Amino acid sequence: ELPEVEVVRRRIEGYLAGKTILEVSDFQGRFALPPLSGKRIERISRHGKCLFFEFSTQDALFVHLGMTGKLLLSETRTPLPHQHLIFSLSAGIFLSFCDQRKFGKIRYFPAQEKEDFLHSLGIDPFSPAYTFERVAKLLSGKKRIKDFLLDQRKIAGIGNIYSSEILFQSRIHPERKLAILSVEEKHRLFDAIPTVLEEAIRCQGTTIRDFTGADGSTGTFQDCLAVYGRAGKPCLRCGNPIERKVLGSRSTYFCSHCQR
């Protein structure tokens, strides 16, 4: 989700910005990439769950980590489990893309294709476009609030873990319909989204099964989860048991006493 991707971005940008790609090794032939040798990485940007290696020539490499994808830095060309790509860069830096379940994506985007792709995504909660007026306009219709938060075309970057945490922070039941949210509830939701995500970033993300940073370190936000994965345990706010319900094939955790 967004916090984990941002943790990776912050870690790798300091090493990769200004470096030149010398060679790309695609061990399993998964990615139909054009020749990238000689491309200079200007910066690493992020929108929602998506990373972009932005080149000095205005084109970019798009990276989506999927469920188990990892970008790992090293100073040697080291074989790693589930390794699919190695980027050899100037200054003796190697970046490996490892992906056990193979849901990750890497694509090359010419400049215009990158812009078109960004326009297809929702608002990033840390971008200037994230304003109450814009978010409030999206909060209409018959869709459930939980489904809305997972829709990457509306607000980009929120997944199953943080949607449950955001709704708990907002005191909104996950099955509430957008059309009946009050203005006060919309404000609470608007404030809770970046608050929860920023705290998760501060904790270096949530490691429940697979996530590690680019240096192999794990996050600690799993120790701060208020509802996710806590079915049957007492609510930290009121003491009533946390409930679990499957909505849209995804497990959702909430307190029916605190969230209305």
Does 211 map to a domain?
A: yes
Residue 20 and residue 114 in one domain: yes
pLDDT of residue 223: 87
Which of the four pLDDT bands, split at 50, 70 and 90, describes residue 210?
A: low
Structural domain that includes position 108:
2-119
Q: Which two tokens stand for residue 24?
A: 């790309």
Residue 100 and residue 203 in one domain: no
Cα dihedral: 85, 86, 90, 91 (round 10): 140
Q: Looking at 98, 119, 140, which one is the last position of a domain?
A: 119
pLDDT of residue 189 exceeding 60, the answer is: yes
Residue 178 and residue 144 in one domain: yes
160 and 167 Cβ atoms separated by less than 8 Å: no
pLDDT of residue 29: 86
pLDDT of residue 211 exceeding 60, the answer is: no
Does 259 map to a domain?
A: no
Give me the mean pLDDT over the 217-234 stretch: 90
Residue 47 belongs to a domain with what CATH number? 3.20.190.10
Residue 107 and residue 163 in one domain: no
Does 106 map to a domain?
A: yes
CA 47 vs CA 14, 128, 188: distances in Å: 18, 12, 23
Residue 91 and residue 145 in one domain: no
Does 126 map to a domain?
A: no
pLDDT of residue 208: 63
Does 125 map to a domain?
A: no
Residue 213 belongs to a domain with what CATH number? 1.10.8.50
Please name the residues in contact with 23: beta carbons below 8 A apart, sequence gap of 6 or more: 37, 87, 88
pLDDT of residue 206: 83
pLDDT of residue 217: 74
Does 127 map to a domain?
A: no
Residue 142 and residue 249 in one domain: yes
Query: For all residues of the chain together, what is the average pLDDT?
Result: 95
Domain count, the chain: 2
Residue 61 and residue 14 in one domain: yes
Q: Find where tokens 């699919």 sit.
A: 84
Which of the four pLDDT bands, split at 50, 70 and 90, describes residue 43?
A: very high
* pLDDT tens profile 119-128: 999 999 999 9
What is the C-alpha separation between 94 and 214, in angstroms, rounded? 11
Residue 137 and residue 247 in one domain: yes
Q: Looking at 69, 86, 119, which one is the last position of a domain?
A: 119
Q: Which two tokens stand for residue 139?
A: 């909060």
Does 81 map to a domain?
A: yes
Q: Is the dihedral of CA 137, 138, 144, 149 positive or negative?
A: negative
pLDDT of residue 63 exceeding 80, the answer is: yes
Cα dihedral: 134, 227, 141, 152 (round 10): 60
* pLDDT tens profile 138-178: 999 999 999 999 999 999 999 999 999 999 999 999 999 99
Which of the four pLDDT bands, split at 50, 70 and 90, describes residue 84?
A: very high
120 phi and psi angles, rounded to 5 deg: -85, -10
pLDDT of residue 98: 96
Residue 159 and residue 94 in one domain: no
pLDDT of residue 218: 75
Q: DSSP letter for 224, please.
A: G
What is the C-alpha separation between 238 and 257, in angstroms, rounded? 8
Residue 162 and residue 109 in one domain: no
pLDDT of residue 214: 64
Q: Looking at 119, 147, 176, which one is the last position of a domain?
A: 119
Residue 140 and residue 225 in one domain: yes
Q: Is the dihedral of CA 223, 228, 229, 233 positive or negative?
A: positive
What is the C-alpha separation between 203 and 206, in angstroms, rounded? 8
Q: What b-and-e string marks burial along 189-226, b requiring 16 or more CB atoms within 10 Å of the CB?
A: bbebbbebbeebbebbbbbeebbbbbeeeebebbeebb
Percent of residues, the chain, with pLDDT higher than 90: 90
Q: In terms of Cα–Cα distance, which of 119, 113, 25, 98 is closest to 61?
A: 113
Residue 26 and residue 82 in one domain: yes
